[in-house]
Each structure stands twice: as structure tokens, then as C-alpha cells.
Amino acid sequence: MNKEIIQEAFIACYGARGAQIYTSPGRINLIGEHTDYNGGFVFPGAIDKGIMAAILPNGRREVRAFAIDLHEQATFGLCKNDLPAQGWARYIFGICRELIKRGVCVGGFDTAFAGDVPLGAGMSSSAALESTYAFALNELFDGRLDKLELAKAGQATEHNYCGVKCGIMDQFASLFGKAGNLMRLDCRSLEYRYFPFDPKGYRLVLLDTLVKHELAASAYNKRRQSCETVVAEIQKKYPQVQFLRDVTWPMLDEIKPSVDSEDYRRSRYVIQEIERVLAVCEALERGDYETVGAKMYETHHGMSQLYEVSCGELDFLNAVARDCGVTGSRAMGGGFGGCTINLVKDDLYGKFIHSAKEKYLARYGKEPKIYDVAISDGAKRMAKS
């Protein structure tokens, strides 16, 4: 992705110069899946792929937006009934509305954007889009919101305009990312800590099943609903419990007979996953990547068997990794498609990629896409050229 191309597309579209360029990244998550909306821990990092936008206030009460990759345009107002028809434009509209709700005087603007974070691949292209505009509009319209509030505005956009009741991990990672560092975020207190991540002798690589998870919103929301149902049941006896994060194993055992077995399985997964994140943090501090990898496999198993957010293609790539002797592998992100994240020893890398491509092609008639991961900085304004 290159800022000159975005700038040229903007000029071609609106005939004006002087737009500012902003960018915000997608994310990986080493471990801690479906724990964020349960008040648990996550362990993401921003990546070197994201969304880039040129933006210039236009002095009107109207937004004109151009999605360069899709060759689509949208024009919409800033009032609450002005929701645009195009899915991608709803993210921008949602951010405008959520910033306005938080006191930022967002006015009209012209914008063109493009991205190199693959859509629906579990790398949070939507959070990258939200964070780009949240960061930019807060700056361009003299908002005083801090990055945490911008992340919340992104999350609220998903909830209120896109129908996904997501947690805060993706927007947080996109805004707070720091090159070379993963972040451990406590999604209950919102305290976070950077962990330098430079696993000598290993590489992180994503294998994209090319199964798009875009239509998975209702399944995602249903998982969240299961967790909340179990919490509500536990609260009858333990009113202090707010999230599955607060639930102990004895509490869960106690209510087992009074909840649906599916909801029970979902909760088991979440509580185990929260424990796994903490175990991975400790292992990282010891430089113990074998344990990190073992926990990744455990997560995959839980996502597949208990939380049921995997799919045949993800399970297949996970099994290929295991057969090849890869240190850690699991489905990444919300699930239902997208990528596996793999922690691979340097000297196994070539063999693994070769074998994954060959086997996936034989089974599914196409090769998975391979993305090497560089852990990068979060949202920013690009310097003028």
C-alpha cells in the first residue's frame, strides 16, 4: 500500500489537493480468542497490513467516500438517519456518528481509501477501517478523545451499525499497536502491557483458508449470547460475577445442571482460554516457545470442539501443521474461516509451507495464501511527502 497511489486516487476523484493521509493496521492475536467480550485477556499485535485513507474536510454536512479497491462511491449525511446502503460505508458513517455522540464536531469531508489487509480473513480489516477514520476525524475536527475512547467508538460502530456484538480487541490492537511488541490487554479493567516479541529461531506465519467469514455475524453473536446466559445463571447465586472471567470452575460445575449443554461447553472453552493466555505470558517471559505452541494447539482444539467456531478447512490446516511438527498452530480471530496462525521453527518453515500448499491444493483445489507477519505500529497520520 502506498500513499502516493491513495493521494492520486483522491485527486482524480475530487480534483482537490491537500488531503491528509492516515493509516491503521489489521491485527494478529497470539492467543485469547473470544475472551474479550467475556472480560478476559487477549494477546494481539498490530501487523504491517491495513487501511490507508486520504481525507479532506469539505466544509459541508456531507461525506463523499470512494473505496478504491471496490471502485465504489458513497455519499451520505451525518445525521442519525443517513445510514448508507453500502456495507463498507457504514463503518465510516458509524465512526462519524460515534464521534459526534462523544462530542467531536465532525463535519463533512471527502475521502478515498484502500487496503491490503485481506477482507474476511480474520485480520480485522473492519477494525482497521474504523480505527483509520476514528483516529483521523478526531484529529482533523479537533476532538479530544484518547485512543481508548476511539477504540470504543470503533467497537460501538460494529454494534450499532454493522450488527456484530464484538469485543474491543481488534480496535484496541489497531490503535495501540507498537512495532515489535504484542499487547496483553485485560478486557475487564482495560489495563494493558506491551510484551516485546522476537522469538529467535521461530517465525509467525498466517495461512489463509480463503474461506470468508463475513457472513458469520449471527453465529458470533450467538456465541456471545451463550456466555451471557451462563453468567446470568451464575449471578443468581453469585451477584458479584459480571463476566465469565469472574467465574471459577466450582461455580461453573454448580450451574451445569441448570444450563443448556451447548452453553456449558462454550463457557468451558472461554474459562480455559483465559487461563491459557496467562500461561502463555509466563511461558514467553521464560522464552519457552514450546509451551506457547502447545497452548496454541489447545486453543484450536477448544475453538473447534467446544466453542465450535472452526471449519473443515481450518481444522485441515491445523492438522497439516501438527503433522509437520510445527510448534504451534490454531484458528485465529472470530473463526468460521480466515487464517490459522502458526509458530514455526525457522528450519521447518520451507517444508511446512510447501506441504501445506500441496495438501490443501489436493484437498480443496486451491492453495492457501501465506502471510508472513511483521508486528507493527498502530494508527497514525503519514508524514507529508
User: Which residues in this chain contact ligand GLA in the complex, by CB under 6 A?
Assistant: 33-34, 36-37, 124, 166-167, 169-170, 333-334
H, E, C per residue of 323-354: HHCCCEEEECCCCCCCEEEEEEEHHHHHHHHH
The residues near 323 (Cβ < 8 Å, ≥ 6 apart) are: 355
User: In this structure, what is the dihedral angle of CA atoms 300, 303, 306, 311, given to the nearest 10 degrees?
Assistant: -100
Please report, for residues 95, 330, 375, 384, the alpha-carbon distance to residue 297 in angstroms, rounded to integers and kept in the order given. Answer: 36, 6, 22, 44
> Which amino acid would we find at residue 83?
L
With left for phi above 0 and alpha for psi between -120 and 50, is residue 16 left, alpha or beta?
beta
- Of the two residues 1 and 219, which places its CB atom closer to ligand GLA in the complex? 219
Q: Return the bridge partners of 231, or none.
A: none
- Of the two residues 63 and 309, which places its CB atom closer to ligand GLA in the complex? 309
- Of the two residues 111 and 299, which places its CB atom closer to ligand GLA in the complex? 299
State the nearest-atom distance from the C-beta of 157 to ligand GLA, in Å. Answer: 11
State the nearest-atom distance from the C-beta of 25 to ligand GLA, in Å. Answer: 14
State the nearest-atom distance from the C-beta of 271 to ligand GLA, in Å. Answer: 15
C-alpha span between 381 and 24 (Å, rounded): 9
Please report, for residues 27, 269, 346, 355, 361, the alpha-carbon distance to residue 358 in angstroms, rounded to integers and kept in the order given. Answer: 27, 32, 20, 5, 5
State the nearest-atom distance from the C-beta of 293 to ligand GLA, in Å. Answer: 19
State the nearest-atom distance from the C-beta of 114 to ligand GLA, in Å. Answer: 21
- Of the two residues 170 and 208, which places its CB atom closer to ligand GLA in the complex? 170
State the nearest-atom distance from the C-beta of 6 to ligand GLA, in Å. Answer: 25
C-alpha span between 6 and 50 (Å, rounded): 13
- 170 is annotated as an active-site residue: yes
- Of the two residues 34 and 359, which places its CB atom closer to ligand GLA in the complex? 34
- Of the two residues 124 and 131, which places its CB atom closer to ligand GLA in the complex? 124
- Of the two residues 39 and 107, which places its CB atom closer to ligand GLA in the complex? 39
Nearest of 262, 260, 299 to residue 277 by alpha carbon: 299
C-alpha span between 385 and 367 (Å, rounded): 38
State the nearest-atom distance from the C-beta of 20 to ligand GLA, in Å. Answer: 27
Q: How many CB atoms lie within 10 A of CB 272?
A: 17
Catalytic one of 110, 170, 263, 315:
170
- Looking up cell 477448544 gives 302
Is-contact 83 161, C-beta < 8 A? yes
Annotated catalytic residues are 170
